[in-house]
Structure 1
Amino acid sequence: MSEIKKVVLAYSGGLDTSIIIPWLKEHYNNCEVIAVCGNVGQKGELEGLEERAKASGASKLYVEDLTDEFVEDYVIPTMQAGADYEGYLLGTSFARPILAKRVVEIARAEGADAVCHGSTGKGNDQVRFELAIMHFAPDLKIITPWREWDIQSRDEEIDYAEAHHIPLKINRETNYSKDKNLWHLSHEGLDLEDPGNEPQYDKPGFLELGVSPKTAPDKSEFVELAFEKGVPVSLNGEKMKPAVLIAKLNEIGGRNGIGLYDVVENRLVGMKSRGVYETPGGTILYKAHEVLETLTLDKLTAHKKRELSITFGELVYDGQWFSPLRKALSAFVTSTQENVTGKVRLELYKGNMINAGVWSPYSLYREDIATFAAGGDYKQSDATGFISIYGLPTKVQAIVNNEKEGK
């Protein structure tokens, strides 16, 4: 430990990372601690961050604006893949690799001896951070307080913070474990640890990105999204970059009760955990993109893409963002997006998203072929030969079965 003189900490300003700073200084020979916060759109959580970091003992704080890179290089490729993990839209999962990458870059620039993260020994984030750090700096020492210290609970963390006069923004009654970025907000802990407890959506301070469907307006709201090669480029006719578009969708979706997801999921480390996720803008974006692909992707590509989206989602959830397979799958996904251009209209109503129109210059839907009206290029009599050939294996198998049974 005496060899560790400077540590770069992935810092959020939350309970875990706030107490880690003095703990590092106590247990690593009063080492210098440099805090790094990656701004990935966690609006409202950056206020007073420098004062809190320095009050906890950090020598300096980097606040790195990673929002556009986060959206364009991590969020959009995952959305284009249609990837989720057991229904969860991967908000925390793809925020960790970009932060770990920046922490390593700053550690190198600062000449640090080690990097540190505040992920618990029971969670997935420890894997996501450390695999990304290993990818960029396999030689760099990683300090993991939750796997080293004697603290066993969030209550004990608060005890430690109070004993060391560390300023906190929470109390014991509102001590949910939360993770927030532009894409989502997750809630874990307290009453949510019992899957039998209904989430307190109407409890003041619980939901931050929106409202429950019950309290959403009684009148529906329409949104129109335009895409170019699978990338969202405009909202309701106004062109904007993806990060701004997602922020506006969060407001629209939030007030209409869109994107609440309550799940007992299977963590990478082997246990089940219960979480509640708010992803209002992302849920709308996924839906619109999926609707547009029904027009622009052929059957074989669409079905294979959906099959591979499960693997893609698992890779992201399991911390394998920088793996060769994830990169290869992204190359496949990018090729499928060549004609995913057009616009989609959705009607939002009390947590529901209703298709209200889809258009594309590359639409594979042809009304003159699919029409039930008379005429058109498709001759219904052509189906006779198709069914005869397509059904030939079934017919031969039936003949063999009958011969076997003596019929």
Structure 2
Amino acid sequence: MKKLVLAYSGGLDTSYCAKYLSKVQGYEVHAVSVNTGGFDKEEIASIGQKAVQLGALTYTSIDAVKTFYDKVVKYLIFGNVLKNNTYPLSVSAERIIQAIEIVNHAKKIGASYIAHGSTGAGNDQVRFDMIFQTLAPDIEIITPIRDNKLSRQAEIEFLKENGVDLPWEKAKYSINKGLWGTSVGGEETLSSHSGLPEEAYPSQLKKTDPTDLKLTFKKGELVAINDESYGNIDAIEVLEKIACEYAIGRDIHVGDTIIGIKGRVGFEAAAPMLIIKAHHLLEKHTLTKWQQHHKEQLGNWYGMLLHEGQYLDEVMRNFEAFLEDTQKNVSGNVFVTLHPYRFTLNGISSDHDLMNSSFASYGETNEGWTAEDAKGFIKITANQGKIFNHVNS
């Protein structure tokens, strides 16, 4: 038998792959799903049961939530990464870790083939293939949906013909939930003019009275909420549970795909948006001007390369080293108020707050220099502009 590892989610595309590759193509299919947040034990058990029923010889669920945080999410926070100033890379960041875990499993069991259910029209095909080719160039990649240009209806008919008559009606909205946010796709996101309706989002507004929170960061990582200490992953999950009741973190991202076309996707990411904005505010108080300037540029580059599947390029490790080094003094509390559909950042307290100095108060008084010092500084600073205007007038 030809041993093959299938990246399996339990949806229509990967279910087709499981049946087609095992029955028609004669592969020994080993289905693997990678949990980067959003799945409970019952869902994982159901996915595994379905995989075996469809023809997989084995099913393996890999818990990669901690790996996802340690290898990716942490740096998205350090870099305040929002794609196009909007999207916290909820799904694209997950795909990188999922691909790495799948290829590692394929090596572990000695598989000669890896398959996934991506089409030829999206970003995931690029992310999966690039990781697989880089880490395991000798393993052949099999992609039935992409290669055969299969329609959804063609997949359903094949499965029915082969005794699989499960309800495959396409949901009105496709939901992909993970640790770092939930993507929401629907008819409205296929065009440019429509917003998603209230019912499209998995979390609904439940609270309307404002709630104050104190978010505590240590070296750039969220470690406590209202003085209650948590592990990094637990802190994100607890904050998500609190903030999603206010329907916070909703938006629609418009971006350029890796393959060159524009795309829209809705998302709900209450905790990620709160954490990134609170962290950014704390950095404004604790980092120097030039640290912030260069961090903004490198954070954007890190997010873009991650989104485009370039995670394994060594430059990403260089970026991570820089981002982590900048967090040495990013510790303290950020005070936030939650409101329906929004939140406000009220202020911070930190031992590293650069506003707490004896030099001066902005627009008020100065103790560290004289009026003559200020006049001289301003005169020299103006030299470049004065020279340019003198020469070119």
Matches of 2:27 and 2:362, distance apart in 1: 73
In structure 1, what is the equivalent of residue 31 of structure 2? Answer: 35
Deviation of 1:197 after TM superposition, in Å, equals 2.5
Letter of the structure 1 residue corresponding to residue 177 of structure 2: K
Q: Is the 8 A contact 2:220 2:279 kept in 1?
A: yes
In structure 2, what is the equivalent of residue 405 of structure 1? Answer: none
Deviation of 1:169 after TM superposition, in Å, equals 6.6
Shift of the 380–250 alpha-carbon distance from structure 1 to 2, 3 Å rule, reads farther
In structure 2, what is the equivalent of residue 319 of structure 1? Answer: 309
Letter of the structure 2 residue corresponding to residue 390 of structure 1: T
* SS across alignment from 1:48: helix
What pairs up with 1:223-262 in 2 under 5 angstroms? 223-262=213-252
* SS across alignment from 1:370: coil
Shift of the 56–176 alpha-carbon distance from structure 1 to 2, 3 Å rule, reads farther
Q: How many residues of Structure 1 are paired with residues of Structure 2 in the alignment?
A: 389
What does the per-residue CA deviation read over 1:105-129, in whole Å, with 9 as the maximum and x for residues that have no partner? 2212222110111122111111111
Shift of the 93–169 alpha-carbon distance from structure 1 to 2, 3 Å rule, reads farther
Q: 1:63 aligns with which of 37, 61, 71?
A: 61
Matches of 1:399 and 1:197, distance apart in 2: 54
Letter of the structure 2 residue corresponding to residue 121 of structure 1: G
Q: Is the 8 A contact 1:15 1:168 kept in 2?
A: no
Is structure 2 residue 187 aligned with structure 1 residue 190?
A: yes
In structure 1, what is the equivalent of residue 133 of structure 2? Answer: 134
* TM superposition score normalised by structure 2: 0.93
Matches of 1:58 and 1:367, distance apart in 2: 65
Q: Is the 8 A contact 1:192 1:274 kept in 2?
A: yes
What pairs up with 1:145-160 in 2 under 5 angstroms? 145-152=144-151, 154-160=152-158
Q: 1:207 aligns with which of 201, 225, 228?
A: 201
Shift of the 185–156 alpha-carbon distance from structure 1 to 2, 3 Å rule, reads farther
Letter of the structure 2 residue corresponding to residue 249 of structure 1: L
What does the per-residue CA deviation read over 1:239-296, in whole Å, with 9 as the maximum and x for residues that have no partner? 1111111111111221112111212221111111121011111111101110110111
Matches of 1:264 and 1:354, distance apart in 2: 24
* SS across alignment from 2:67: helix
Matches of 2:267 and 2:55, distance apart in 1: 32
Matches of 2:159 and 2:106, distance apart in 1: 26
Matches of 1:306 and 1:267, distance apart in 2: 22
Q: Is the 8 A contact 1:97 1:321 kept in 2?
A: yes
* SS across alignment from 1:397: helix
Greater alpha carbon shift after TM alignment, 103-112 vs 366-375: 366-375
Letter of the structure 1 residue corresponding to residue 67 of structure 2: E
Q: Is the 8 A contact 1:296 1:363 kept in 2?
A: yes
Matches of 1:110 and 1:95, distance apart in 2: 23
Is structure 2 residue 324 aligned with structure 1 residue 334?
A: yes
Matches of 1:365 and 1:167, distance apart in 2: 65
Shift of the 290–374 alpha-carbon distance from structure 1 to 2, 3 Å rule, reads closer
Letter of the structure 2 residue corresponding to residue 164 of structure 1: N
Q: Is the 8 A contact 1:315 1:321 kept in 2?
A: yes
Matches of 2:355 and 2:256, distance apart in 1: 39
Is structure 2 residue 18 aligned with structure 1 residue 13?
A: no
Matches of 1:250 and 1:243, distance apart in 2: 11
Matches of 1:126 and 1:225, distance apart in 2: 38
Letter of the structure 2 residue corresponding to residue 127 of structure 1: V
What does the per-residue CA deviation read over 1:51-88, in whole Å, with 9 as the maximum and x for residues that have no partner? 11111111111111111111122111122112222221
Shift of the 191–357 alpha-carbon distance from structure 1 to 2, 3 Å rule, reads closer
Matches of 2:161 and 2:368, distance apart in 1: 79
Q: Is the 8 A contact 1:43 1:182 kept in 2?
A: no
* TM superposition score normalised by structure 1: 0.90
Q: Is the 8 A contact 1:52 1:167 kept in 2?
A: no
* SS across alignment from 1:300: helix
What pairs up with 1:160-179 in 2 under 5 angstroms? 160-166=158-164, 168=166, 171-172=169-170, 174-179=171-176
Letter of the structure 2 residue corresponding to residue 317 of structure 1: H
Matches of 2:165 and 2:35, distance apart in 1: 21
Is structure 2 residue 266 aligned with structure 1 residue 281?
A: no
In structure 1, what is the equivalent of residue 104 of structure 2? Answer: 105
Letter of the structure 1 residue corresponding to residue 220 of structure 2: G
Matches of 2:390 and 2:149, distance apart in 1: 72
Q: Is the 8 A contact 2:336 2:344 kept in 1?
A: yes
Matches of 1:68 and 1:85, distance apart in 2: 23
Letter of the structure 2 residue corresponding to residue 328 of structure 1: N
Is structure 2 residue 338 aligned with structure 1 residue 348?
A: yes
Q: Is the 8 A contact 2:119 2:149 kept in 1?
A: no
In structure 2, what is the equivalent of residue 401 of structure 1? Answer: 392
Deviation of 1:146 after TM superposition, in Å, equals 2.2
Q: Is the 8 A contact 1:19 1:166 kept in 2?
A: no
* SS across alignment from 1:35: strand
Letter of the structure 2 residue corresponding to residue 260 of structure 1: R
Matches of 1:354 and 1:390, distance apart in 2: 37
Shift of the 321–150 alpha-carbon distance from structure 1 to 2, 3 Å rule, reads closer
Q: Is the 8 A contact 2:208 2:246 kept in 1?
A: no
Shift of the 181–91 alpha-carbon distance from structure 1 to 2, 3 Å rule, reads same
